[in-house]
Amino acid sequence: MTAAQLDVVNITKRFGGLTAISAASLSLRTGAIHGLIGPNGAGKSTMIGVISGFIKEFSGHIRFDSHDLHALDPAAIARLGICRTFQQATPIAGLTVLENVLVGMHIHHRANVAAVLLRTPSMRREAKAMAVDAHRVLQEFALEDDADLEASDLPFGKLRFLEIARAVVMRPRLLLLDEPAAGLNQSETERLAEIIRRQVTLGVGILLVDHDVPFVFGLCDHVTVMNFGSVIASGKPDDVYRDVAVREAYLGPQEPVETGEWL
């Protein structure tokens, strides 16, 4: 996978009289993990929405691998390789776990309408390959035994993993994770960390938004901190963790942990 960089420059987004993001910038490269943290209402999820095309009418510039993302819709941005998850893991009602994952592959489905209706040999080969790939991903996410269950019947933790699996099968170059560890127990959080690290070894870049500080700082190569819509710090995790403005705005006055104690 060819390395690429996402550059978010001076983004400002207002909702009526509320400024959710104010002249915020960050850069993220493929093959690295970039944490984005801050208090509730800091603008983190709005930033993910802007980057992924789900939130429009903002000022500033977003470029990825020479592409200007400003006017692109979410589907076009996903086809470029930028995929996201949502805070609320919501499966497609009435579909099984396997079918939910297969839906995530739609942007790479090459068969045309005639091929699907006529069930041509090429369409059948493609469908078989997609099923094999979907089962591989389900196994990676420990969801293989649940493949034929209706997705809405999954417990909370497994719904979280299904949400990420649906994004992973889209073959992202950048994966935007919005609160992926929220509500997970310790063993599930550790498995999530392994999955994220695995994606990075494949060359995927990760933008990680989460309130679990040890989880974020233990995984990330770079951390950006937002407060009231503005970036107040950005740099290596240990440097950001000791930043006075960050501690006052978000982390509190407790003594920083030693390196290696994050996870």
Confidence of residue 113 (pLDDT cuts 50, 70, 90): very low
Structure confidence by residue, pLDDT tens digits, 135-184:
899 999 999 999 999 999 999 999 999 999 999 998 999 999 999 999 99
Q: Are residues 86 and 184 in the same domain?
A: yes
More confident residue, 4 or 58: 58
Residue 99 lies in a domain: yes
pLDDT at 28 exceeding the cut of 90: yes
* One-letter identity of residue 139: Q
Domain count, the chain: 2
pLDDT at 261 (0 to 100): 53
Cα distances (Å, whole numbers) of residue 9 to 145, 188, 231, 245: 44, 35, 11, 22
Instruction: Give dist(CA 12, CA 31) in Å, integer.
Output: 27
Q: Is the pLDDT of residue 17 over 70?
A: yes
Query: Within a domain: residue 82?
Result: yes
Average pLDDT in the 30-57 region?
96
188 — pLDDT class (breaks 50, 70, 90): very high
Three-class HEC string of 118-152: HCCHHHHHHHHHHHHHHHHHHHHCCCHHHCCCEHH
Tell me the H-state helices in 37-112.
Answer: 44-52, 74-80, 97-103
pLDDT at residue 107 in the model: 65
pLDDT, averaged across the chain: 89
> Does a structural domain hold residue 213?
yes
> Which pLDDT belongs to residue 122?
62
Distance (Å, whole) CA 77 – CA 91: 21
Which CATH number goes with the domain that contains 246?
A: 3.40.50.300
- Residue 104: its pLDDT value, please? 81
Amino acid present at 117: L
**Residue 263 falls within a domain, yes or no?**
no
User: Which amino acid is residue 25, in one-letter code?
Assistant: S
- Tell me, yes or no, whether 187 and 231 share the same domain: yes
Using alpha carbons, select from 35, 33, 34, 29 the residue that is nearest to residue 2: 29
Q: How far apart are CA 262 and CA 243, in angstroms?
A: 17
- Note whether residue 77 is domain-resident: yes
Tens of pLDDT, residue by residue over 189-239, are 999 999 999 999 999 999 999 999 999 999 999 999 999 999 999 999 999
pLDDT for the residue 1: 62
Residues 11 and 86 grouped into a single domain = yes
The span from the CA of 210 to the CA of 213, in Å, is 7
- Residues 181, 142 share a domain: no
pLDDT at 112 over 60: no
Asked if 83 and 9 sit in the same domain, the reply is yes
| 165 lies in some domain | no
137 and 186 assigned to the same domain = no
Same domain, 118 and 84: no
Are residues 225 and 96 part of one domain? no
The residue segments making up the domain with residue 204 are 5-90+172-251
Residues 55 and 176 grouped into a single domain: yes
**pLDDT of residue 120 exceeding 90:** no
Q: For residue 68, what pLDDT is reported?
A: 95
Residue 224 maps to a domain: yes
Residue 164 in domain? no
Q: Are residues 79 and 139 in the same domain?
A: no
Q: Note the pLDDT of residue 93.
A: 85
For residue 225, the model assigns a pLDDT of 97
Residue 86 and residue 100 share a domain: no
Q: Are residues 108 and 144 in the same domain?
A: yes
Q: Report the distance separating Cα 226 and Cα 243, nearest Å.
A: 13
pLDDT at 110: 54
